[in-house]
């Protein structure tokens, strides 16, 4: 459940928004790496999921509220498609930034651009298509108020 007092004490956990882009800092831990000390490719998926979640949180869209049915029925987001370019490796103790931008929300789909950066270096580029689904997994058109929130309106 959402603890607003905790969030108020740790506002940096959610990252920041610059323009239309959300930026989430992430440190690379041992658990994120493979036997060679390089970030394992699946760890980037977790970093990017956190970026998408925190962007929505900063725009007032909370997963627990979607699940509660407060928008007419229980809703969730599912990744439908993802294109990823792994450009450069990250290593243990690196401080990265996950840049997330919702480029378009249309019907049941949300189109998202993401980059994982180390300083000025782009390590990963991804294009993500997420869809809104009902509790039984069927696509659902997003309510207009949610679309406005996701677009930062």
Residue 5 has pLDDT above 60, yes or no: no
Residue 11 has pLDDT above 90, yes or no: no
The whole-number pLDDT of residue 44 equals 97
Indicate if 34 belongs to the active site.
yes
Q: Alpha helix (H) ranges present in the chain? A: 4-9, 41-58, 63-68, 144-150
b/e map 45-61, b = 16+ CB within 10 Å: eebbebbbbbbbbbbeb
Residue 133 has pLDDT above 70, yes or no: yes
Q: Give the mean model confidence (pLDDT) for residues 123-152.
A: 90
CA distance 52 to 72: 23
For 18, other C-beta atoms within 10 Å of its C-beta total: 9
The whole-number pLDDT of residue 2 equals 53
Query: What DSSP state is assigned to residue 33?
Result: B
Which 3 state secondary structure label does DSSP give 91? Answer: strand
Residue 6 has pLDDT above 60, yes or no: no
* pTM attached to this predicted model: 0.89
- 123 phi-psi bin (left φ>0, alpha ψ -120 to 50, beta other): alpha
Most confident of 19-23, 70-74, 141-145: 19-23
Catalytic residue among 3, 12, 34, 136: 34
């Amino acid at each position: 459940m959402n603890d607003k007092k905790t969030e108020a004490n740790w506002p940096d956990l959610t990252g920041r928004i610059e323009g239309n882009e959300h930026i989430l800092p992430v440190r690379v831990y041992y658990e994120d790496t493979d036997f060679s000390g390089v970030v394992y490719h699946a760890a980037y998926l977790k970093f990017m999921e956190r970026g998408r979640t925190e962007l929505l949180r900063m725009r007032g869209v909370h997963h627990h509220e979607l699940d509660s049915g407060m928008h007419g029925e229980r809703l969730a987001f599912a990744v439908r498609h993802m294109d990823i370019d792994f450009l450069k490796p990250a290593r243990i103790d690196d401080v990265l930034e996950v840049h997330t931008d919702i480029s378009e929300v249309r019907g049941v789909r949300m189109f998202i651009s993401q980059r994982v950066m180390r300083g000025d270096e782009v390590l990963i580029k991804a294009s993500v298509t997420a869809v809104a689904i009902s509790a039984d997994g069927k696509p659902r058109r997003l309510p207009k108020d949610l679309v406005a929130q996701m677009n930062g309106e």
